[in-house]
Amino acid sequence: MVLCGFALPSAARNLLQDFDAAQRFDPTYQGAKAEFEVGLRNVKQAKSVFFPEATFSTMRLATDNGSRTSLSVTQPIVDIERLMTYNQAAPRLLLAEVGLLSKRQDLAVRLVKAANVITQAMENIALNKSKMAALNEQAERARRLLSGGLGTITDLRDIEVKASQAKAQQLALDTQLLIALKQYQAIAGVLPGAAEFVLPAVHGTYPIQSMQDYANTALRSGPSVLAARYNVEIAEYEVKKIKASFLPTMSGVYSYSKSGATANDNKYVGIGFSVPIKAGTVYGLDAAQAGVVRAQESQRETEAKVSLDVDRLQALVSSGEEALRIQKDAIAAAELSVEANTKSYQGGVRSAVDVLNAIQTVFQVKSDYVQLATTQAENILSLMLLAATDPADAVSQANSYLFDKK
């Protein structure tokens, strides 16, 4: 008996809708959004360095006839260190945005991988049921041959052992499916229907660009590369801030003080200058300059890794299409092998072990096909994300590739 195909098709799961739900539910991503908000607050704080500063105090000593009150307002006018802090806010904002984008990409990868685990479990359950049906039919045939004096008890026992192993494997696969569904729920916040994760007979397509096109886009707009560049820019501003801390500053000053019951008021409006002397800052400058070198080397390492990942993923996606076609041919050959071995066994040319091995081969090549297809979808997703594709679009493409019927 030739094993049947994959699980019966049903309405495919819409991963894009679940991705939208996951952005509102997933705890890891919610933490990333909170971290992004902290980054925004820090940026706003950096942009407020030229806001006026005010101090107010009032006190009364035991020897005073009245209270002492003072108010001072200072408006920074010329302060290069503050200016560097203000300018540093721009790359910090961009770094925060890129960081959140990276977390969205991570969420997309986790969601698609969780969906693929369910898909693999569903397909393997269907394949294992087909294998059990084939083994039961072989066992019945072996009993008939044995009762007619043509078979052996050894053939029957071998088949029964394989059938029992398939039943035990079915329990393990059912457990894997349950766990996979729960893991998906932990990301998306909804418990999906298992029947929605079934592969069609033919998958969608993905237009593959050249390695150079992917590399150019990734090195120009890839989140990891942008983050490395912004870190270099931030580190360079740290050096500029320390150098600027040695420069004089100028501020507008207004002060008011009142002392005692006689209400003697003192007011002053003018310009204040200060020349900081910070000997210890010299050592901080050395550390900041070393930080720039470290950030630059990290950027170079990131760019090299991105280029390598682009080459690897583009090659995997290109070869994956051909591997799937070859695996389809292997499935057809394995099914014919089951049929041929069954007829040869009936004719006394082959043994029951040969038939069992052929049945197991069909199960294995079909299971390998499912693994190849889901891996191909993950590679397509990773390649698109590396090329700075919006995560929602990348998830939609992976979903279309796996589940759209062509």
Task: Return the domain boundaries, the chain.
Answer: 15-403
**The predicted structure's pLDDT at residue 115:** 94
- Extended beta strands in 218-371, E state: 249-259, 264-274
**Backbone region of residue 363 per phi and psi (left: phi > 0; alpha: psi in -120 to 50; beta: other values):** alpha
Residue 324 corresponds to which tokens in the numbers above?
A: 């799937």
Residue 194 DSSP code = G
Helix (H, G, I), strand (E, B) or coil at 70: strand
Buried b / exposed e across 372-396, counting CB within 10 Å, b at 16+?
Answer: bbbbbbbbbbbbbbbbbbebeebbb
Q: Which residues pair with 266 in a beta bridge?
A: 257
Give the DSSP H/E element, type plus range, for residue 139.
helix 80-147
**The predicted structure's pLDDT at residue 13:** 81
Q: 99-103 long-range CB contacts below 8 Å, 24 or more apart? A: 99/32, 99/35, 99/36, 99/39, 99/227, 100/32, 100/33, 100/35, 100/36, 101/223, 101/391, 102/223, 102/224, 102/227, 103/28, 103/29, 103/32, 103/33
pTM for this entry: 0.84
**The predicted structure's pLDDT at residue 405:** 61
Q: Which residues of the chain have pLDDT under 70?
A: 1-11, 61-66, 150-151, 260-264, 279-280, 349, 405-406
CATH architecture of 15-403: Up-down Bundle (1.20)
Contact (CB, 8 A) for 271 and 253? yes
**The predicted structure's pLDDT at residue 93:** 93
